[in-house]
Amino acid sequence: MFITLEGPDGSGKTLQIHLLEEFLTAEGYKVFCGREPGDTFIGEQIRQVLMDHQNKNMHPRTETLLFCAARAQLVQEVLKPHLERGDIVLLDRYADSTMAYQGYGHQFDLDLIRSLLHFATGGLRPDLTFLLDVDPQTGLERRQKGGGEWNRMDAYVLQYHQRVRQGYLEMAQADPQRWKIVDASRQPDVVQSDLREILLSFLSNLS
Ligand code: TMP
């Protein structure tokens, strides 16, 4: 079972995914929890290049390829082996982030990005994807106030982040079977309880 969390910056994914990991582990599931880009030796190095403020002149095409490169490594080295063992894989961002940020955000041809993603992932798709939806202004303010990592990607203009959010909403509305939209502007415990409820009902429908 492959579950991803997606959403604009400052949507609270990272806190929520760790709470979900704790919850599923306590329920007796074997869980692998990871984040993108990263979680392999090669992926962490690519992450540093992507996030570094010194790389201000990185072209969006370079950025797109680097995200895909980190993901290709993660799929082969980590995700596939865990899924083959029957573990639950919980991932903080996956291919849909590249669709939202590079496809919709940078306004690249979406079909082209889809093909690139297919190549990078070998066609591995999540079974369930949560969209933690929050308006970008609120998300970015949260992130600045929270004192978290402020990276090269956050520095893109607000209109860019609005296109990202719109992209997410379009993808989620086009495939409601896989995507579940959760209002992430609410208190973290309320958001978590919605996530658990949706997840439990998803798991029980499988058994
Ligand atoms: P994070 O803050 O969730 O760790 O994500 C890091 C940044 O990278 C965030 O601004 C979103 C961006 N990103 C992309 O632009 N494309 C991608 O494919 C991924 C995985 C992340």
Report residues whose beta carbon is within 6 angstroms of any ligand 1 atom.
9, 36-37, 67, 93, 97-98, 101-102, 153-154
pTM over 0.85: yes
Q: What is the atom index within ligand 1 of the atom nearest the CA of 164?
A: 15
* Runs of H (alpha helix) within the chain: 13-26, 41-51, 60-74, 80-84, 95-98, 110-121, 136-145, 158-174, 188-206
Q: What is the atom index within ligand 1 of the atom nearest the CA of 68?
A: 18
Q: Are 3 and 129 in contact (CB under 8 A)?
A: yes
Angle, alpha carbons 98-63-36 (nearest 5°): 50
Q: What is the atom index within ligand 1 of the atom nearest the CA of 93?
A: 20
pLDDT of 20: 98
Q: How far is the CA of 45 from the centre of ligand 1 (A)?
A: 14
Domain map of the chain by residue range? 2-206
Question: Average pLDDT for residues 106-112, to the nearest whole number?
Answer: 98
Determine what percent of the chain is predicted with pLDDT higher than 90: 86
Tell me how crowded residue 47 is: count the other CB atoms within 10 A of its CB: 20
Pairing, β 2-6 against β 31-35: unpaired
Residues 49-107 have pLDDT tens digits of 999 999 999 999 999 999 999 999 999 999 999 999 999 999 999 999 999 999 999 99
**pLDDT level of residue 147 (50, 70, 90 thresholds):** low
Q: How far is the CA of 64 from the centre of ligand 1 (A)?
A: 11
Give the whole-angstrom CA distance, residue 10 versus residue 144: 9
- Identify the CA nearest to 11 among candidates 185, 152, 194: 185
| Cβ-proximal residues to 148 (8 Å cutoff; 6+ apart), any chain | none
pLDDT of 148: 67
- 100: which DSSP letter? I
Q: How far is the CA of 180 from the centre of ligand 1 (A)?
A: 20
- 53: which DSSP letter? G
| Minimal-distance CA residue to ligand 1 atom 12 | 153
Give the whole-angstrom CA distance, residue 15 versus residue 23: 13
Give the whole-angstrom CA distance, residue 136 versus residue 138: 5
CATH pick for 2-206 out of 3.30.70.1400, 3.40.640.10, 3.40.50.300, 3.40.50.970: 3.40.50.300
